[in-house]
Amino acid sequence: MRDMSVMLCALNTWTGGVPMASESSVQPMSTAQTLVGIFFSPARVFESFRERPRFLSAALIVLASTVFLSVLFLNRMGYERVIRSAIETSPRAATLTPEQRERAIGIYLSPLGKAITYAKPIIATILGIAAGAAIYLLGSFLAKRTMHYKQVLAVWVYSSLPPTIITTLLGVLILFSRSAKDIDPMMRDTGIVRTNLSVLIDPSLHPMLAVALRSFDLFAFYGLFLAALGLRKTARIQPAISWAIVLVPWIIGLLFQLARAALLKA
């Protein structure tokens, strides 16, 4: 009888209320599986990053999509038209003489100016990925959860992948379904795909309100949701803490953009 009790106790310890496999052991996924799975089963993808974080392929797709849409926009709209519109509608344009405006436009039309303009999304995307992952790493450290930099890189990149791909496809559709004359050249800065309420106001008249409304974007919150899910699944962080790690930098970024818009308006 005593032996039977010992066996039952051991069996209960092994199986009772706990999966047979260890919680830390997650079914490995290939790169192709993670790239597809992030759209349909993101929780499983992020769980796989506990053992084997992946980010390079997804990062290259995000980078290529961003650069492709930027180059397509400049070529479709006309490079000079986009640059001229950006300079002439800038808050500081009123302080420039016509000669100064033409000189500024000429700088961007030069080979060096064009190189900088085309390289800007490449540099911004790479720096954004590196800095964003560092912020998540700091947040996980403050939450007393151990994460490696490769893990937070994977969370940042994969949470950016679906929104980037969807907005790129929609952006291409918009650019080719409308005449270039009917598209605002400033959409390069404000976003070709607008899934927020900023379309209801004139940004030149209400710059701060436009910034605030652009921040509350459907695809932006889709990315934030994936990031919070990724931190929770990869590092086993509680939902409230994972959302705090994701939302605090977003709020700080929003406040910075509002302050910048207020300074440019002044």
pLDDT tens track for 162-187: 999 999 999 999 989 888 787 877 77
Helix (H, G, I), strand (E, B) or coil at 135: helix
Helix (H, G, I), strand (E, B) or coil at 132: helix
Within a 10 A sphere around the Cβ of 203, how many other Cβ atoms?
20
pLDDT exceeds 50 at position 17:
no
Which residue type sits at 159? Answer: S
Asked if 172 and 70 touch (Cβ cutoff 8 Å), the reply is: no
Q: What is the mean pLDDT of the chain?
A: 84
Within a 10 A sphere around the Cβ of 77, how many other Cβ atoms?
19
Per-residue pLDDT of 80-108, as tens digits, reads 888 888 888 776 766 778 888 888 888 88
Mean pLDDT calculated for residue range 122-133:
95
pLDDT exceeds 70 at position 76:
yes
Mean pLDDT calculated for residue range 211-223:
88
Mean pLDDT calculated for residue range 37-44:
95
Which pLDDT belongs to residue 97? 80
pLDDT band for 157, please (50, 70, 90 cuts): very high
Check: pTM over 0.85? Answer yes or no: no
Widest CA span of the chain, in angstroms? 100
Which pLDDT belongs to residue 70? 92
Instruction: Please give the Cα distance from 162 to 65 (Å, whole number).
Output: 11
Cα–Cα distance list, 152 to 91, 124, 127 (Å): 37, 18, 14
pLDDT exceeds 50 at position 3:
no
